[in-house]
Chains A and B, each alone.
Chain A
């Protein structure tokens, strides 16, 4: 299996604060990889660096073979991204936003694809509503659609389920599980450990910008351990170290 994400000694400092500290990370094709960590552990910064939204202060990383520092736009052209906080542009309607994404990404037959997403995520009745007037959950649906509408080889999602209701969470979890079966890769960052254990094939634990562990979820469960308990013990140990 080839690595779709290969980070070596990746670091990011904000002034004196080390947000990410010499992280080495390899994510293989077809994985549903979960980056786990408490609030402020550096997960969002990792995703931002891997998608060329912010420059590393040290180390290097390639995503789908492209250097994130030298070709950030190239990386974003190849992947799908759902940022944690970002919302779609205020004065476009939902359908116009997907058309906009389609035009920027040069996606053929964007209208048909957009309609499929409106039906699939059950918000066709909102397609002509201005994005600024959409509820948080509906905005999240729209952001989810824009990330997958071009069927990227790799999608990076910051907190994938955070604004969805339980029914939609179920739909999305099924979609993600099915997506990787087609050889695509998904990289999610989350602090909801139960979800990570349920859907992820591999995981890494990040704490205070440092990688504490990386490996397959199956390896853990085969030892009779559960991800939430393992995570808590590791982070607590590191906190007291």
Chain B
């Protein structure tokens, strides 16, 4: 167990450091630490406008989200290893040559992912806050408790997604029943206690009043989620052959109005047949946004009128931009290298499919606007969200070409992405808070988006295509 675990850790590090260089990748947690350390000094200032309890909720929500995102990355049961590693020959495949079961390897894989990403993302952020605590007046014990509960929040995100994905791999119907049951229990508890169900989140309960009993209960819940995920893990049976009737030609005909109908048809079949359309929709889009809506709704009183809807539209836009990773995660440039296809053509094609997928966030924002009774601001909110999404995806394509989900761990790429996206988010948040109608002006973001896409095409055509 230990040998495989250590080898997998080394392997994960080498995969990342080979791609970006050891130094560039090693700087990633340092950057996260720096952001947390400096951000901690803003906490006393934020207390003036935001109660400490709400700030705690937001930070926990971020860690929960982080867990969901990291877990979501290795999702969809049977696809987990293929999706993540493609044609690379990695230890995840060692059941073929070593006397190890796939379930054993999967367990190692999940434990390794948990610890690896804890050190990569969670600990640097917590450490930044802890080391800043003597200067910010926060007692060390509180800072340490926060690190513990944030770690638990991260693990809850991770384990919940692994649990749900394991259920999903077995039966989509059972998944629907499980999610409905969770929502129903949450609603019942909220109604009974009169509390926002978010406040019943175990790490938050623990943070509010630490007790060994609460800690044990949290760990037990995590163990149950993780244990069920491992038990339900269903390695794909060797030698199975899935057949499909020919759908490519009719689809390509239907997409004749798009710039590259065959590439769009292929992307569509990839999304549909891999299960990513539904899986990613639930785990990388709806679930994170539902969590954000819950937590954001607590901040309602601190936003100007209609501010909550616009803030949510902006966040939805940023998350919707990650749909670009849905359409780029299936293939490297390799299979296209024997065809007359340039990298820039592929980028255009992937962005076209991305543009079609934007109907989903548009509908989502519209539904939220209707449910919130903000019908009058439905169109501006949709325009704002979708414009932010196109702007963010333009930056993503420029910085990462066809490998966004890999390049995100390059510290230069992530830093540039965060700065450029934050710029637009800050400007338009301020603008819509002051004048709601200015949300419509966000359409201007299409210009820098177009500029970044053009730069992306030139940039990625000029280098040898990446093999990941």
List the interface of chain A (C-beta within 8 A of B): 51, 53-55, 72-74, 76-77, 80-83, 85-93, 95-96, 99-101, 103-105, 111, 126, 128-130, 132-134, 143, 146-147
Q: Which residues of A contact B263 (CB under 8 A)?
A: 104
Q: Supply 14 A–B pairs (Cβ within 8 Å), ascending by A.
A: A73-B345, A76-B340, A80-B338, A86-B334, A86-B337, A89-B335, A90-B82, A93-B244, A96-B246, A99-B252, A111-B249, A128-B244, A129-B241, A130-B273
Residues of A within 8 A of B273 (CB): 91, 130
Q: How far apart are the CA atoms of A77 and B464 in the complex, in Å? A: 18
**CA separation between A74 and B243, bound complex, in Å?**
34
Instruction: Please name 6 further chain A to chain B contacts, defined as beta carbons within 8 Å, in addition to the given A89-B335, A90-B270, sorted by A numbering.
Output: A81-B337, A87-B335, A96-B248, A96-B269, A103-B262, A129-B243
Please tell me if the beta carbons of B335 and A88 are within 8 angstroms of each other in the complex: yes
B342 within 8 A of A: yes
In this assembly, does B87 line the interface, its C-beta being within 8 Å of a C-beta of chain A? yes
Indicate with 1 or 0, residue by residue over B352-377, a CB within 8 angstroms of chain A CB atoms: 00000000000000000000000000
Docked-complex contact B242 and A129, CB < 8 angstroms: yes
Bound-state Cα–Cα, A88 to B340, Å: 15
Is B330 interfacial (CB-CB < 8 Å)?
yes
**A105: which B residues are within 8 A, CB to CB?**
339-340
CB contacts (< 8 Å) of B248 on chain A: these are 92-93, 95-96, 99-100
Name the residue among A72, A96, A105 with the largest chain B CB count within 10 angstroms.
A96
A132–B342 Cα distance when bound, in Å, is 24
Bound: A83/B336 CA distance, A: 11
Nearest-CB residue, chain A, relative to B345: A73
Write the nearest CB–CB distance from A13 to chain B, whole angstroms.
12
Bound CA–CA A76/B335 (angstroms): 13
Given A83-B334, A86-B334, does the pair A130, B244 have CB atoms closer than 8 Å? Answer: yes
Q: Does B24 contact A (CB under 8 A)?
A: no
Q: What 1/0 flags go to B226-245 for Cβ under 8 Å of A?
A: 00000000000000111111
B261 at the interface (CB under 8 A from A): yes
How far, in whole Å, are A74 and B341 apart by their CA atoms in the complex? 9
Please give, as numbers and ranges, the residues of chain A lying within 8 Å of B102 by CB-CB distance: none
At the interface, yes or no: B193 with Cβ under 8 Å from chain A?
no
Complex interface: chain A residues within 8 A of B240 (CB): 133
Contact present for A89 and B270 (CB under 8 Å): yes
CB-contact partner of A99 in B242, B246, B335, under 8 A:
B246
Given A54-B464, A92-B269, A130-B273, CB of A86 within 8 Å of CB of B338: yes
**B340 pairs with A74, CB closer than 8 A:** yes
A103 to B251, CA, bound (A): 12
Closest to A134 in B: B241
When distances are taken between beta carbons in the complex, the residues of chain B under 8 Å from A87 are 87, 335
A25 to chain B, nearest CB (A): 20
B331 within 8 A of A: yes
Residues from chain B with a CB closer than 8 A to the CB of A92 are 248, 266, 269
| Bound CA–CA A80/B340 (angstroms) | 10
Taking CB atoms, residues of chain A closer than 8 Å to B242 are 129-130, 133
**Within the complex, which residue of A55, A99, A143 is in contact with B249, where a contact is CB–CB below 8 Å?**
A99
Please, which residue of chain A has its CB at the minimum distance from the CB of B268? A91
B342 contacts which chain A residues (CB < 8 A)?
72-73
Question: A95's closest neighbor in chain B, by CB?
Answer: B246
Return the chain B residue nearest A83 by Cβ.
B338
Is the pair B338, A81 in contact by a Cβ cutoff of 8 Å? yes
A132: B residues at CB distance < 8 A: 82
* B270 lies within 8 A of A76 (CB): no
**In angstroms, how far is the closest chain B Cβ from the Cβ of A182?**
22
Q: Which residues of A contact B97 (CB under 8 A)?
A: none
Binary A-proximity of B455-467 (CB < 8 A = 1, otherwise 0) = 0000000001100
List residues of B (416-464) whose CB comes within 8 Å of A's CBs: 464
**Nearest 9 interchain pairs by C-beta:** A103-B262, A77-B340, A81-B338, A96-B248, A91-B273, A76-B340, A128-B243, A133-B241, A53-B337
Identity of the chain B residue whose Cβ is nearest the Cβ of A55 in the assembled complex: B464
Any A CB within 8 A of the CB of B49: no
Q: Which residues of B contact A129 (CB under 8 A)?
A: 241-243
Interface residue B247 (Cβ < 8 Å from any Cβ of A): yes
**CA of A109 to CA of B263, assembled, Å:** 19
Selected from B262, B330, B338, the residue in CB contact (under 8 A) with A146 is: B338
Please name the residue on chain A nearest to B266 by beta carbon. Answer: A100
Q: What's the minimum C-beta distance from B400 to chain A, rounded to whole angstroms?
A: 20
Produce 1/0 per residue, B369-410, CB < 8 A to A.
000000000000000000000000000000000000000000
B322 within 8 A of A: no
User: Known contacts A55-B464, A90-B330; is A128 also within 8 Å of B245 by CB?
Assistant: yes
Min Cβ gap B285→A in Å is 20
Q: CA of A82 to CA of B335 in the docked complex: distance in angstroms?
A: 10
Shortest CB–CB separation between residue B59 and chain A, in angstroms? Answer: 39
The docked-state distance in angstroms from the alpha carbon of A89 to that of B334 is 9
Do residues B331 and A82 form an inter-chain contact, with CB atoms below 8 A? no
Complex Cα distance, B464 from A132, in Å, reads 26
In this complex, the member of A54, A82, A130 whose beta carbon has the largest number of chain B beta carbons within 10 angstroms is A130
Knowing A96-B269, A133-B242, the reply to whether A89 touches B338 (Cβ < 8 A) is no
Is B274 an interface residue when CB atoms closer than 8 A count as contact? yes
Q: Are B262 and A91 in contact (CB under 8 A)?
A: no
Q: Complex Cα distance A96/B267, Å?
A: 13
CA distance A91 to B242 in the complex (A): 10
Q: Kindly report which residue of chain B lies nearest to residue A76, judged by CB atoms.
A: B340
Q: Which of B247, B266, B331, B465 contacts A53 (CB 8 A)?
A: B465
Q: Flag if A73 contacts B246 (CB, 8 Å).
A: no
Nearest-neighbour CB distance to chain A for B383, whole angstroms, equals 34
